[in-house]
Structure 1
Amino acid sequence: MSIADARSRAPGHRAVPTGAPVAAAPAAVVDALDARVREVVRAQGVDPQRDVAAVRRIAEDAAREHDDLSMTGAVAKLVDPVAVVAEVVARVAGFGPLQPLLDDPSVEEIWINDPSRVFVARNGRHELTNLMLTQAQVADLVERMLKTSGRRLDVSSPFVDAMLPDGHRLHVVLEGITRGFTAVNIRKFVLKAAGLNDLVELRSMTPQAAAFLTAAVRAGLNVLVAGGTQAGKTTMLNCLAAAIPGGDRVVSAEEVFELRFPHPDWVAMQTRQAGLEGTGEVPLRALVKEALRMRPSRVIVGEVRSEECLDLLLALNSGLPGMCTLHANSAREALVKMCTLPLLAGENVSAKFVVPTVAASVDIVVHLGIDAGGVRRVNEIVGVPGRVENDVIEVEPLFVRQSGELRRTHGMPPRIEAFERTGIDVHGILQAG
């Protein structure tokens, strides 16, 4: 299939160039250098995934030897040795044709629908690239990516979530579950914000909203971050966690390690899939329970999806401050979902218990979204005063986005005494400006 055909099959998406051209050297020359570098890597016992610098040094030496040999006329001279070295390093130590996309800071996500349809996301927008792979290349890339994570993909386990060495998240669905071809998705870890002030600079929220959320975290309020896919929930959770006082002990539980924030006393845990014998699985619910045995001052759950929500609620209701993320279309829908997920834990769990528990456990809900230009925004921040009327949890809007701006409303946050104990004048913060 030609590139033009690939473009025509994806109307509305523009094709974009990827990677540095290696047309300066014939494929046979690059293949020969690739084989030579792999031979030296094996002979020296270099781990290409962990020591990329050593692989690059070996590739540069091989390129120089090739150029020296070209003076005799035995081989053709390399017109662009830098591009050739980059290609060989990507093949041996990186992830081949995908490496330029992984190295591109503007690319947020990469996904492969089939070998001729490789897409990327930039600034929240989807683009079809002109990268054309083969089925063997994709299979080899997936195998190499999973090798670094220690996770497996086979007929008995056709889905996998894994973390790449650079912190990018890999998700693969095996052919048979998907129609026609194995689906590959790589969500890159792009650090654009390390704190709430960084989100202000990115115009995701106002300085007043950032000051309030910082105060809420310091005061130990329980925060629920909600939004759709790619709305920036994990980034927001990282920024909130960065505001946790250094004297607190933090324990986090995630499906795959994604949280990254500076803290001197932090234990991070991730789930584990079952082994070949069908044993050894460690689900997220087990991690939440385990976290409570580790003397935490704060507990963070990367994302609640199922019955682990019940264990988190029980922890928050016992006075342990915590935070988590959740997929939802609004702050109110996030609370409704928090009331629904614990029911999956068992038939003996009833809504009469869950609804008031959610109302008493969740203090702040931050809802995120993506605007028409692909920019991630804080759409609303609401307080949960703990009141329930006709099985509906009441909320107090604190900040609401109107006419494109996040504006302060007249609502007041819950647990004012928690701010006072910490020495925070929350009234002054909310009245500022």
Structure 2
Amino acid sequence: MGSGYTVNVSIDGFRFRIPVNIVANGGEYYYVVNEPRCGNTCAEVKGQVLSYMRRFNVDVLEAVNQVVRDLDGVDKQDFEAALYYLLRDIRSYGPITVPLFDEYVEEVELNNWSQPVTVVHRELPGIRLVTNIRFEGEVEAREFIYSFSRRGLPRNVSLMKPYIETILPEGHRFTGTIGEITLGPTFSIRKFPEKPMTLEDLVSRGMLKPSTAAYLWLIAELKGFIMISGPMSSGKTTLLSAIAGKLPMYSKVVTIEDTPEIKIPHPHWVRMFTKDGDEKSRVEMFDLVRLAVRYRPDYIIVGEVRGEEVHALFQASALGHGMLTTFHASTPNELIIRLTSPPLNVNPGNLQLLSTVVFTAIRNGRRQVVNVMEPRWVNGRLEFMELLNEQGEVDVERSVKVRELGRFYGIDVNEELKRRTKLLTMKPA
């Protein structure tokens, strides 16, 4: 990627190439957007277009064509700059349009209207980059939040309910406030890539070793129970989606989420979402896991487990469904304490139903699988056995779960893991 690259911004069939620079200075990282300069002529065209739209109630493109015909001496550069800003502000997302189109940007945030917008960049995970994007004042920032309600999105914001949680048309998750419950307007947009990363992508990026990816692929396909655990932004959902993308095409998959994050290229895929509401109309994850079993899926995937649905997950696993989920815990001890303590209260014996737990983290500025462990019941006590050797490769001889699954399905797991490892490292023709 380097320190500079170009973001392709496409609006209403028009494509603009906007340069972006990543700058490091004194321990801080900056995300600098180089939008076209809008001088006097550009500003005049913009003003007249907006006036024409209000007077005649016409589309922005029709107004642009009319105004340019009426004006003399508008050169190409001024015209393109005016068109860019008009489309950016009317048809797209105003000042944050470029980072929303940038495939490398994962989050866009406004934490204080008087400070610049910040972003989280895929090449610098866990670091917030300060941008040169600012709102001119609190009123403009508040109007920006209100604009999402006016777009006809499923949630509204008002003084009675001064926050909004919704999904943008592109699939990104938007959360914002207009003040009242925060010191001025704020927002956070979590972006999700249009094309999810594959296991091959994650191997090539160094998130995990080929043998580890092959092990997880095999455990998942053989209907094991995989839990991916780690802190926020450590790549849990990315890894989950990549593993899910390897499930057999003939199988049936049900995903359960609060908001749509998981994307899998699968023809027999049922997506379920929780629903807010009062006690009678609310639909929670526990309800959906129980409902999912009725669909007779081969695999059930829960975006993140954090409530009583965990009990339904273990029951579904015991019934023979393949299970994939994520969890917030950074160490095995923390995972056991959280699962077995209130409000989850999982019976420690049920944790043996887990096939494997994958721990992710951000190390040296990169998302990585830092441990893969299998639960064992030893002398009346639950323990976790580490499977990764010093090189970060899975040691198959340490794995009890994969050998159990191999015997059940009648396959040679050593040969199967070698075959899958080779497939994951093959270069495309």
1:195–1:239 Cα contact (<8 Å) kept: yes
List gaps (5 residues or longer) in structure 1: 1-9, 44-57
Q: CA deviation at 1:292?
A: 2.0
Aligned to 1:49: none
1:184 is the counterpart of 2:182: no
DSSP 3-state at the match of 2:372: strand
Structure 1 residues 30, 37: CA separation in 2 closer, same or farther (over 3 Å shift)?
same
Name which of 166, 170, 174 aligns with 1:166. 170
Q: CA deviation at 1:84?
A: 2.1
Name which of 71, 80, 93 aligns with 2:91. 93
1:223–1:323 Cα contact (<8 Å) kept: yes
Aligned to 1:406: 392
Supply the distance in 1 between the matched residues of 2:157 and 2:179 (Cα, whole angstroms): 11
More strand by share: 2
TM-score normalised by length of structure 2: 0.80
List gaps (5 residues or longer) in structure 2: 1-24, 423-429
1:339–1:358 Cα contact (<8 Å) kept: no
Supply the distance in 2 between the matched residues of 1:423 and 1:140 (Cα, whole angstroms): 62
Aligned to 1:370: 362
- Counterpart of 1:239 in structure 2: which amino acid? A
Aligned to 2:330: 329
Q: CA deviation at 1:415?
A: 5.2
Structure 1 residues 14, 380: CA separation in 2 closer, same or farther (over 3 Å shift)?
closer
Structure 1 residues 300, 35: CA separation in 2 closer, same or farther (over 3 Å shift)?
farther
Supply the distance in 1 between the matched residues of 2:205 and 2:51 (Cα, whole angstroms): 46
Structure 1 residues 157, 99: CA separation in 2 closer, same or farther (over 3 Å shift)?
same
Supply the distance in 1 between the matched residues of 2:62 and 2:55 (Cα, whole angstroms): 13
1:194–1:261 Cα contact (<8 Å) kept: no
1:379 is the counterpart of 2:370: yes
1:236 is the counterpart of 2:239: yes
Supply the distance in 2 between the matched residues of 1:254 and 1:90 (Cα, whole angstroms): 32
Supply the distance in 2 between the matched residues of 1:376 and 1:93 (Cα, whole angstroms): 35
Deviations 1:160-198 (A, max 9, x none): 4322111111123553433x1233111111357532111
DSSP 3-state at the match of 1:344: coil
Q: CA deviation at 1:389?
A: 4.8
- Counterpart of 1:344 in structure 2: which amino acid? P
Deviations 1:226-266 (A, max 9, x none): 11111111111111111111222111110101110111111
Aligned to 1:357: 350
Structure 1 residues 84, 210: CA separation in 2 closer, same or farther (over 3 Å shift)?
same
Identity over the aligned pairs, expressed in percent? 26
Name which of 216, 240, 243 aligns with 2:219. 216
How much is the aligned-residue C-alpha RMSD, in angstroms?
Answer: 3.0
Aligned to 2:104: 106
Structure 1 residues 62, 163: CA separation in 2 closer, same or farther (over 3 Å shift)?
same
Supply the distance in 2 between the matched residues of 1:176 and 1:11 (Cα, whole angstroms): 35
Alignment of 1:28-427 (within 5 A): 29-34=45-50, 36=52, 59-71=60-72, 79-117=77-115, 118-122=117-121, 123=123, 124=125, 125-133=127-135, 134-146=137-149, 147-154=151-158, 160-173=164-177, 175-178=179-182, 180-190=183-193, 193-274=196-277, 280-340=281-341, 343-344=342-343, 354-359=347-352, 361-372=353-364, 374-385=365-376, 387=377, 389=379, 392-399=381-388, 402=390, 405-409=391-395, 411-414=398-401, 416-422=403-409, 424-427=411-414
Aligned to 1:47: none
Aligned residues: 388
Supply the distance in 2 between the matched residues of 1:98 and 1:39 (Cα, whole angstroms): 28
Structure 1 residues 322, 184: CA separation in 2 closer, same or farther (over 3 Å shift)?
same
TM-score normalised by length of structure 1: 0.80
Deviations 1:338-371 (A, max 9, x none): 333xx426xxxx66xx111122x21111111111
Structure 1 residues 420, 394: CA separation in 2 closer, same or farther (over 3 Å shift)?
same
Supply the distance in 1 between the matched residues of 2:379 and 2:164 (Cα, whole angstroms): 42
